[in-house]
Structure 1
Amino acid sequence: MSERLPTYFVSHGGGPWPWMKDSVGPAYDKLEASLVDIKRQIGVRPRAVLCVTGHWETRDFLVSSSAAPGMIYDYGGFPPHTYQIQYPAPGDPALAARVAELLGAAGMTAGTDPQRGLDHGTFSMLYPIYPEADMPVVQMSIRHDLDPAVHMAAGRALASLREEGVLIVGSGLSYHNLRQFGPGGRVASQQFDAWLQHVLLDLPPAERKDALLNWSAAPSARVAHPHEDHLLPLMVALGAAEYEPGAMVYHEDDFFGNLAVSSFRFGRAAG
């Protein structure tokens, strides 16, 4: 594939929401529509998806390498049927090895994990895009050190995959403070989201990079992300498209009734 696919940072929502429409009603309609629209934006069928998930932290980068990954129900308090969900997308061991190889060539320790299954940051986000579960999926962890420069460098190391038909998606949330998911998080989410939009959409590449490397100085940064596991996938997605324009592909100010959240694309859309 000669087309260079864009990359994405997706705010993936809460828990297994695509399987809870009877109880959540229209709460996720805008997010779902934005995910479905990714197909139109990329214009081609990728060879595979590489999902950098905020739900998998490891000392060194690891890449899921099972040919048939299982399911990880990494959530609690949801209806019983959500612990029986199956999203039987195939894995891609060859791609997993390629990801680890590229990271290693860039001086980062990386390995593969044949036991790792799909967590909800991956399968809940992918289901609206590929409901048939026929798109090969490989997951990549974030590192325990949560170093934004390292994660941006990892994206840079993986950039060539975009010309090999691999869709790189960072899956997290632009606001992730579970203790203030509701009215208490409204102002902080708005302040941080406004900053994030300005940085990703308005600044030239060098300034954008510097601002993200110093993200913790942003307004309400540590309220929005007390633990930045759901922000670090953004660094990988941006690093893989470091000098390309950003676009906001999803935004709402009333997520969970109160919060501002957004998703972004880096690189131009085909459709």
Structure 2
Amino acid sequence: MSTLPVYFLSHGGGPWPWMLDQYGGRYDALKASLEAIPAELGRKPRAVLVVTAHWEAPQLRISSGAAPGMIYDYGGFPDYTYRIRYGAPGAPDVAARVQALLRDAGIVAHLDPERGYDHGTFSAMAPIYPDADVPIVQLSLKAGLDPAEHLAIGRALAALRNEDVLIVGSGLSYHNLRQFGGAGAQASHLFDAWLRDTMALPPAERSARLLAWEQAPAARQAHPREEHLLPLMVAVGAAEQDAAAVQYHEDAFMGALAVSSFRIGG
């Protein structure tokens, strides 16, 4: 069985897959890029490990329930979006394997049987697997948001790629909610160009540049707080020796912003 690629996905805003009729085509390109992933993989994986920007903990936590519920971690959306369901099963055995790999690398992680799916997970996964028939495990970020720590987390999890577990970092390549439109256009394009250039570098240079991401053009305008960028570090760590490819790029996300998702390896 071939080694699976790793993805970093810019997951869009709130419960967008359930609001397409209200967005007038604004999410068509993102939706199409996500829907293309199963064909890129060529098979359904055993499970998906989602490193979600919407979960942080002092020590890593891993969702381990067999039937996770829903976390509606957004505000200001229509009432029905607080009743939507994405019913993918959990994978307790995969959660235990994730914990063991991290432990072997000296990284403390705790199983969390109560954690439900947040929108960093269900809004990304629903277009990929609309039948919710692939089990999902979520992994939190570690408080402090240290890039080197998150690269190391990814390295510890690399073996999953040969165990038919798809690793997905779910965040956004631009995440400044105070400038989420035309006001953020220039910063998003500057940072995104740097990010795409960085992801095209040889592996060692790619990792080194990501560790110094704050030196990028418009870095702190694009990410006043870096939680939506850190899932990329985990993804890169898990595929650190692989060449990278831009899987999806859009210059007019939400009307004006540049955003990118990446497939690494495969």
TM-score range, shorter chain: over 0.9
Deviations 1:122-176 (A, max 9, x none): 0011001110111100000001110111101111000000010000000000000
Q: Deviations over 1:30-85 (max 9, x none)?
A: 10111011111111110000000000000111100000000000000000110010
Q: Using the aligned pairs only, state the percent identity.
A: 64
Partner of 1:175: 174
- 1: CA distance, partners of 2:177 / 2:64: 31
Specify the SS of the correspondent of 1:254.
strand
| Map of 2:131 onto structure 1 | 132
Cα deviation, residue 231, structure 1: 0.3
- Alignment match, 1:66: 65
TM-score of the superposed pair, with normalisation by structure 2: 0.99
1:22 shift after superposition: 1.5
Matched, 1:206 2:204: yes
1:242 aligns with 2:240: yes
Measure, in 1, the Cα distance between the counterparts of 2:20 and 2:35. Answer: 16
Counterpart-to-counterpart distance in 2, 1:67 and 1:149: 31
One-letter identity of the residue aligned with 2:50: C
Task: Give secondary structure in 2 for the equivalent of 1:158.
Answer: helix
Structure 1: stretches of 5+ with no match in the other structure: none
Asked if 1:17 is matched to 2:20, the reply is no
In structure 1, give the amino acid aligned to 2:243.
Answer: P
Looking at structure 1, the residues matched to 136 and 206 of structure 2 have their Cα atoms a distance apart, in angstroms, of 29
| Alignment map for 1:147-186 (pairs within 5 Å) | 147-186=146-185
What is the distance in 2 between the residues matched to 1:152 and 1:126?
A: 23
User: Residues 187-230 of structure 1: CA distance to partner in whole angstroms, max 9, x if unpaired?
Assistant: 100000000000001x1111111000010110000010011000
The within-5 A match list for 1:22-61 is 22-61=21-60
Secondary structure of 1:86's counterpart equals coil
In the alignment, what sits opposite 2:217? Answer: 219
C-alpha distance in 2 between matches for 1:26 and 1:251? 16
Q: CA RMSD in A?
A: 0.6
Distance 1:169 1:205 in 2: 18
Q: 2 CA distance for matches of 1:35 and 1:256?
A: 17
Query: Displacement, 1:177?
Result: 0.3
Unaligned runs of 5+ in 2: none
- Shift of the alpha carbon at 1:184? 1.2
Show the counterpart of 2:87.
Answer: 88
Counterpart code for 1:234: L
Distance 2:222 2:103 in 1: 32
